[in-house]
Amino acid sequence: MQVVSVLAAAGPSMAEQAPTPPVPPPSPQGRGRGRGRGEQIPQRVTKEQVVAALAILGLTYTDAQLDMALPGVNRALFTYEQLRLIDVPLDTAPSISFSPILPGFQLPKGPARYNPPKAGAIFRFKQPEELAFLSAVELGAMVKAKRITSEALTKMYLERLKTYSPKLNCVITLTEDLALEQAKLADQAIRRGRRTGPLHGVPYGAKDLFDTKGILTTWGAEPYSKRVPDSDATVIEKLRGAGAVLVAKLSMGALAQGGQWFGGMTKTPWNYEMTSSGSSAGSGSATSAGLVGFAVGTETLGSIVSPSTRCGVAGVRPTFGRVSRNGAMALSWTMDKIGPICRSVADCAEVLRAIAGPDGKDLTVVNAPLSWDARKPLKSLKVGYLAAEFERANEKTKPVLDAALDALRKAGVKLEPIQLPDFPLNAIRFVLDAEAATAFDDLTRTSGGLDQLSGQTPGDWPNQFRMSRLIPAVEYIRAQRARTIYMQKFQELMGQWDAFVSPTGSQSLTATNLTGHPQVVVPCGFVDGLPQGLLFTGRLYEEGTAMRLALAYEQATEWHKLRPVLQAS
């Protein structure tokens, strides 16, 4: 019942008052729920406590109703204490799952259509260092043409990581031995004519929430700073299968929040006084600084879009259920998504192609074709833009955004004004807080567990986890039902458009993280020396359309070609 869900969470917890659960009260015969009348049990929860809990829920009971409920509240407390004694490993998902697919929605059918942009000319160079800012696709082409070995590329990026990452604070663990081993294998395969694809031999970095066998995977958080998994995440396995070379585990905000980890704050290479944002902080920073060929990150509520924007790189947050999260730290089982952070849209498409698809372990993943046609006529696309959000931009940002829309129009994109469905999204955002608190409930209950985290402001996880223990189960489920209503409204909108455009500070970021729709971000200019981003939203499982529009903008501008001035350690 509602009352108990709040009381059980109140601190100090009842579990702390009674570390050893009492013997359960006898279950009366003939009542399937074991909630009979009349049995004598310890009244550890008082009527006053129930009244206080009801205030949080916005409910008032009469004295008679309270007297009737109180024995059941105390009986239920025992079951909660028993539940807390069950060992639930951190990688255990709930027995319920989320799907962005609504009744009547038709998944894309048929084989994946893949038509990448025309390959550029092979780059001429004197020193490997000159290749640092090439796109991953260009690097892969260089390896394929045997203009450089994967081993030479890997050594170059390892040296750059050692030279520049300390100032940026974007690396948690260099995977040097593994990288050199993988690079040698990639070169051997090339010599034998066994290239596995465009990413073959290309060094990359992974956000430090992807498990790597025998290598630290810390989640950026003090309590897990010595954590070493015994298997690889599915994304790591798939990238190894694609021939990519893992050179670093990149920093992330502690437990996937912001840019602050146990080693300090990760910086954007465009301004060493500013955070790179988060939580895929190191993935954005290292990619922008040319310390890796590409990176992979995760997003629950902005953690790919935000650091990509702050660091001036491209990012794709795919449809929920496109990429397996097996072996990745869970924050929110109904909102977590994995995607690429790269120096070009074409790179993002190749990385997404490599990591997408079911693995039989994350059962939310759908076997839908991933199509990408970089040459699709733009005039065939019906594209909207969130006109009110562009108009509301401040006096510094508005000229940048207006120029971005003009560039799209000149590229051949016809833009029509649209607006998002009216809905109080902030009223249901707390589903993330509830799930995150559940994921780390054992840490919250561990004496001093949350105190180990360096972030201790009201907006940091320790306080958020504690507050979230007071979220009633009934309210959480009501929010998920309201989420379904908004998904229906959003689906009606997307039924009218192939994609739409918005600023990166758009309300669409919250909306689509709740509905599961994909978004693509690319740099579109600077304000006060910091990169700005343009956001493209596509239909479910149609990332290729959003990427096509993002590519059109990228090809019409030069922002993705600008490079930050780096500071050596």
The C-alpha atoms of residue 5 and residue 313 are separated, in whole angstroms, by 44
Contact of 546 with 518, CB cutoff 8 Å: yes
The token duo for 388 is: 């009110």
Residues with Cβ < 8 Å from 427, sequence gap 6 or more? 479, 482
Alpha carbons within 13 A on the beta-carbon side of 531:
32
Burial class from Cβ neighbours inside 10 Å (0-12, 13-18, 19+) for residue 353 reads buried
Contact of 437 with 444, CB cutoff 8 Å: yes
pLDDT at residue 120, rounded to an integer? 84
> What is the average per-residue pLDDT within 91-119?
93
- Least confident interval from 88-92, 288-292, 297-301: 88-92
Residue 409, H or E segment: helix 397-410
pLDDT at residue 4, rounded to an integer? 45
pLDDT at residue 42, rounded to an integer? 83
pLDDT tens digits, residue range 177-223? 999 999 999 999 999 999 999 999 999 999 999 999 999 999 999 99
> What is the average per-residue pLDDT within 18-35?
45
Q: Where are the domains of the chain?
A: 2-84, 134-366+377-423+479-561
Backbone angles phi, psi at 295, to 5 degrees: -145, 160
**pLDDT > 50? residue 3:** no
**pLDDT > 60? residue 20:** no
pLDDT at residue 40, rounded to an integer? 66
142 or 21, greater pLDDT: 142
| Strands 530-538 and 499-503, sheet pairing | antiparallel
Average pLDDT score over the chain: 93
> What is the average per-residue pLDDT within 450-462?
94
Contact of 187 with 170, CB cutoff 8 Å: no
**pLDDT > 50? residue 13:** no
> What is the average per-residue pLDDT within 122-147?
96
**Residue 410 bears catalytic tag:** no
Confidence of residue 31 (pLDDT cuts 50, 70, 90): very low
Alpha carbons within 13 A on the beta-carbon side of 236:
27
pLDDT tens digits, residue range 55-88? 988 989 999 999 999 999 998 898 899 889 999 9
**Residue 303 bears catalytic tag:** yes
pLDDT at residue 23, rounded to an integer? 53
> What is the average per-residue pLDDT within 468-497?
96
pLDDT at residue 416, rounded to an integer? 98
Supply the DSSP symbol for 210: B
The catalytic residue among 279, 283, 324, 502 is: 279
The C-alpha atoms of residue 367 and residue 109 are separated, in whole angstroms, by 10
Supply the DSSP symbol for 296: E
**Residue 371 bears catalytic tag:** no
**pLDDT > 70? residue 30:** no
**pLDDT > 80? residue 250:** yes
The C-alpha atoms of residue 98 and residue 103 are separated, in whole angstroms, by 14
Backbone angles phi, psi at 204, to 5 degrees: -140, 170
The token duo for 487 is: 């998904």
Contact of 346 with 551, CB cutoff 8 Å: yes
pLDDT tens digits, residue range 381-407? 999 999 999 999 999 999 999 999 999
The catalytic residue among 277, 283, 303, 306 is: 303
Query: Among the CATH numbers 3.30.565.10, 3.90.1300.10, 1.10.599.10, 3.30.1360.200, which is that of 134-366+377-423+479-561?
Result: 3.90.1300.10
> What is the average per-residue pLDDT within 348-356?
98
Dmax of the chain from CA atoms? 87
The catalytic residue among 155, 207, 238, 267 is: 207
pLDDT tens digits, residue range 34-56? 444 445 678 899 999 999 999 98
| Strands 314-317 and 260-261, sheet pairing | unpaired
pLDDT tens digits, residue range 366-380? 999 999 999 999 999
